[in-house]
Every structure is written in C-alpha cells, then in structure tokens.
Structure 1
Amino acid sequence: MRAILDFAMRSRLAAVGMVALGALMPLLFWVSGGLLALITLRRGLAAGGIVLAGATALLVPIYAVLLGTPLAVLQPLALVWLPVMGMAQILRATVSLAVTVQLGALIAVAAVATFYGVYGDPALFWTQILEVLSDRLLAGPPGAEWDRAVEQLAPRLTGLWVSNVLAVAVLCLLLGRWWQAMLYNPGGFRSEFHGLRFAIWFAAGGGAAVVAGAITGPGLLADLGVVLGAVFILQAVAVAHAVVARRGWHTGWLVGFYLVLPLLLRPVVLLGLADTFMDFRARLAPGT
C-alpha cells in the first residue's frame, strides 16, 4: 500500500485515476476519499481541488455510458469528496483533529436545520423518496408492513442521512491522516487519535441535544441528537484504543469492543460524552 500511495503522491495523473476508480467501486470509495484527504492534507486545498476536478471530469463520460446520466457524478462529489476535502483543509489549517471534527459536526447541524427550513416537515420528503424506491424495487404494490416501516423510518431519515455523510467524511479523513503519518510521520496518527477529546462546550451542547431528542421523539431535536451523538462514538473509540495501548492489553480487547459496538451505541455515546468531563484516559493510565 505504501508503494501505491507514494506513486499517487508523485503523479497527479495517477492520483486522479485512483480517486475516480475508487468512486466507481462501492467497496473502494474509502480509498477514493482517503486519498483525496491525503493529498489535501499534504499539498493543500488547491492540489486537492485539481485532483477532485480531474476525477470528476473523468467520471462524467463514464457515468453517462454506464448509468445513462452524467449527473450521477454529483453523488460522490457532494456526499464524499467535497466534505472530505473541506475537513482535510480544516485539519491542515488547525492541526487539531478535535477542532476539525467539531467544525464538521456543526456544519452537519446547520445542514439538518437547513433541511427543516426548506422542507418544513422532512418526513413528507422522505416518504415520497421511499415511495419512489418501492415502485422501483418491489415487484408488486407495497403492503402494510412496508407502510409501517416507512411511517417509522421517514421522520428519522434526516438525522440518519446527515450523520452518515458526516461519518463517511470523518472516516475518510482519518484514513488519509493515517496514510500521511505512515508516509511522513510514523507514529504520529496513533498519538493524535489516542488523544482525541472534544471541548466541554461541545460535549455540553451535544449531550443536551441527545437528551432533548430522546424526550421529544422524532423531529428536529432528535435529528440533531443523532448527528451530535454519532460524533461522540468516535471519542469513545479513541478512549478504547488509548486505554488498551496504555495498559498494554491484548488487541483482542479492541476486537471485542468493535463486535459489541453496534449493539451498545447509546452506552458508547454516553461513554464518549462522559470522557470529556472525566478524562478516563488519564484515570486509567498505568500507575493510576
């Protein structure tokens, strides 16, 4: 992998090709976003923008042939590349992973609020989208079970969709940061990620949104709680990695943590929130 990354960093044409190729393959979009993050982190926004423009231009005719419309390029452009490149530039400027993720989360919060401002009741918008999907995917008319699923899902899709875009951007950014450390600063990503800890004001606001959303049910506050709560999953993951490393525990503990993570999302969110105030990493360091 190092040789491939070295080649991409030496050749702009190779970088354009690799970013575009990653977008064409669903399982490789992480590579596409991560490489764009790496280029922006190392070379700056202008260099990242040139690669993004080249990859977009390359994909336009390919999507036109494969999917029948060149507009399909807007999906990787708007949902992966632009968010990743923006966050990479913020990290390059601030040299703070915590500040970068916080700013990304605030932009996501603004996106949720804007969505509500434009559509009023986003549940109606998502219901229409799901109805179109059902017409395309289901062989016959949807039954009562589908209608119940839509009724339950539509009011929650705004928060889920925005948090998914944010999560993809953050994970691609982390991948690019890891590659940057691997090429130019060995060990740098490990210490940076292990020290990830958000500001108290951000945790207070995020915690308030999570609690308010749980009380009020589906709606704006609940969607904001989903977006901000997802961010603190990342802090909890950083806590887990740091504690295992500082205690010298076997990496099997991390494997177990990731296996139960999908089943314990709410407790993990609370762990991330609590760490901001209690600093578990300092309390669980060797000799304490």
Structure 2
Amino acid sequence: MRALAELVMRGRMQACSIAFIGFAFPFVSSAVIGLVTLRKGSLEGFIVMLWAILPVLLSYFFSENNPYLAVVSGILVLTSLLVAVVLRMVSLWDWTLMAVVLISVFLTLMSGLFFKSELADFVQWVEEVFKLSSAGDVLVLVTMGVAINALLGLMIARWWQALLYNQGGFQKEFHSLKLDKSVGASCLVLALIGLVSNNSFGVWLKLASIPLLICGIAFVHFTVKFLSLNKFWLFLMYVSMLFGTMSFILAGVGAADSFLNLRERLTKR
C-alpha cells in the first residue's frame, strides 16, 4: 500500500491514472482523491476527481447495469473530494464525520430529484432483493453506503499520508478520535429520535448514529492497544458487526466516550 501511495504522490499523471483505474477496485479512487486533496489541496484533488468520474460516466451511458448504480458511484467520488477538503480545512475528525453524513444525505437527495427515472428502475430492483418498497427507503440505504465508503476511503487516504509523511500519525489520530460533547449530544438525540420513530423521516435520522459508531470502533482500537490485548478482539468486533446489536453497542460506546471521556478514565486506572 505504501508503494501505491508513493506512486500517487509522484505526480498528477500518476494520480489521475490510478484514480481512473481504481474505479474497478473498492475504495481506491476515493483514497487517491483523498490523499491528493489532503496533501496538495482542493484544486489538485478536483482534477484527480474528474479523472475518477470518467469511468462513472462511461458506465452511465454504455453499461448494461442500472444507470443509477453509476449515479451512486458519482456521488461517492464527489463526496470523497468534499470530505477530504473538510478534513484538510478543519483538521478535526468529529466535524469531518458529521460532514460525511450531511454531504452524503444532500447529494443523495439531489440525485433523487435529478435522476427520477433511473431511481424508479433501481427501486424496482432493490425491492426484489432487500424488500424495500419506497424510493425514500432506497435513498437512505444509498446514503448509508456512500457515507461509509467515503469515510473508509478518507481513512485510507489519511493512513497513506501518515505512512509517507508522519509515521504512526494515523494510529495516534484514530485512537484519540471522539466526538465533542455538543456534536455527540446532537448525534445521540437525532439517532434516538430516529430509533423510536416509525415514519420515513425517522429512518433518515438514524444516519446520525454513523459518527457515534466510528468513534466506538476507535475506542475499541485504543483499548486493545493500551491494554496490549490480542488483535483477535478486533477481528471479533468486526465479525460481530455483521449483526445489528454490536453496531448499536459500539454507537453507545461512542456516545458515552464523548460525555464521560472513557479514554482518560482508562489510562488513570
């Protein structure tokens, strides 16, 4: 992975080429856009994004797959650029996590307005597979996918940046990740309202749990490192996340950490 990051940083041509080819591989294009943006600025990141979006356009016009899949890929590429710009500007992960969710929601809703026919066809397909019967439900599913994939791409980009210019920096940054109390409170309230609501708007509010979930995961990583535990516990955590209960628990841990500063309590034991 270090060799790939070094190749991206050699020049614009290399970065654009990898972003173009990376369309076929999960997170590669997003990570390349993120790395270039974090290191060289939004203009260079935008140029690389244009190359990353070319295969998306080709897929939209010429692929036999549902065109809305290409639209979703385009949303992911654009989101990857915007969240990298946010992180570069504020250097705060808690606000960046919020930005990931908000940007994903906004762009996905806009796609529903501008690509109505493509979305309608996509809903029919998703209804058969996931038993979702409304465009709103599908858009929530798309938003969640975009947010998580954009976030993973950004984290890979930050990791690459640390590998090249700040050894160990990403681990330290990730292990200290927790939400500010005001941000944590906002996410918790919105997520709880979404949890108890039975309408379609409540489903959207559940997306506020994503920052809490990521912070919960970060706390577990910190705990395993601090207590020198076997990394099997991390593997077990990620496998358990395939079941919804563990994700709720981790989101709860993320919320508790923002209010109680669990890391400080753990280190003072």
TM-score normalized with structure 2 length: 0.85
Distance 1:256 1:3 in 2: 30
| Aligned counterpart for 2:236 among listed residues 247, 256, 262 | 256
1:108-123 mapped onto 2 (5 Å cutoff): 108=104, 110=106
In structure 2, the CA distance between the partners of 1:154 and 1:114, relative to structure 1 (3 Å rule), is: closer
Q: Which amino acid aligns with 1:171?
A: L
Aligned equivalents of 1:250, 1:148: Cα separation in 2: 36
Q: Which residue of 2 aligns with 1:19?
A: 19
1:1-288 superposed matches below 5 A: 1-23=1-23, 25=24, 28-57=25-54, 59=55, 63=59, 67=63, 75=71, 78-108=74-104, 110=106, 129-131=122-124, 133=125, 146=128, 149-151=131-133, 156-225=137-206, 227-263=207-243, 264-285=246-267, 287-288=268-269
In the alignment, residue 160 of structure 1 is paired with which amino acid?
Answer: L
- CA drift of 1:192 comes to 0.6
- Alpha-carbon offset, residue 221 of structure 1: 2.4
Q: Give the alignment's TM-score, normalised by structure 1.
A: 0.79
Q: Deviations over 1:228-287 (max 9, x none)?
A: 1122110011000011111111111111111112222222222211211112222222x5
Structure 2 CA distance for partners of 1:271 and 1:126, relative to 1, 3 Å: farther
Task: Name the stretch that deviates more: 170-179 or 10-19.
Answer: 10-19
Aligned residues: 264
Change (3 A) 1:99 1:66: same
Cα distance change on mapping 1:248 and 1:214 into 2, 3 Å: same
Aligned mates of 1:61, 1:114 — CA distance in 2: 17
How far is 1:36 from its partner? 1.0
Q: Relative to 1, partners in 2 of residues 1:205 and 1:111: Cα closer, same or farther, differing over 3 Å? A: farther
Distance 1:97 1:77, change over 3 A: same
Which residue type is aligned with residue 94 of structure 2?
A
Is the CA contact 1:160–1:223 (under 8 Å) kept in the aligned structure 2?
no
Percent of pairs identical after alignment? Answer: 25
Over the residues paired in the alignment, what is the CA RMSD in angstroms?
A: 3.3
Q: Is the CA contact 1:113–1:220 (under 8 Å) kept in the aligned structure 2?
A: no
Question: Shift of residue 196 of structure 1?
Answer: 0.8
CA change 1:76–1:17 in 2 (3 A) is farther
**CA shift for structure 1 position 4:** 2.6
The change in CA–CA distance for 1:64 and 1:162 in structure 2 (over 3 A counts) is closer
Amino acid at match of 2:90: T
Equivalent residue letter for 2:260: M
Contact preservation (8 Å) 2:59, 2:70: no
Residue-by-residue CA offset, 1:61-91 (whole Å, 9 max, x unaligned): 854896279x889536632221111111111
| C-alpha distance in structure 1 between counterparts of 2:254 and 2:219, whole Å | 8
Does the C-alpha gap of structure 1 residues 254 and 10 become closer, same or farther in structure 2, counting only changes over 3 Å? same
CA contact (8 A) 1:159 1:224 kept: no
User: How many angstroms does 1:41 deviate by?
Assistant: 0.4
Distance 2:101 2:92 in 1: 14
Alpha-carbon distance in 2 for matches of 1:246, 1:106: 33
Offset at residue 33 of structure 1 (A)? 0.8
Residue 39 of structure 1: how far off its partner (Å):
0.5
Kindly state the Cα deviation for residue 3 of structure 1 after the two structures are TM-superposed. 2.3
Larger Rg: 1
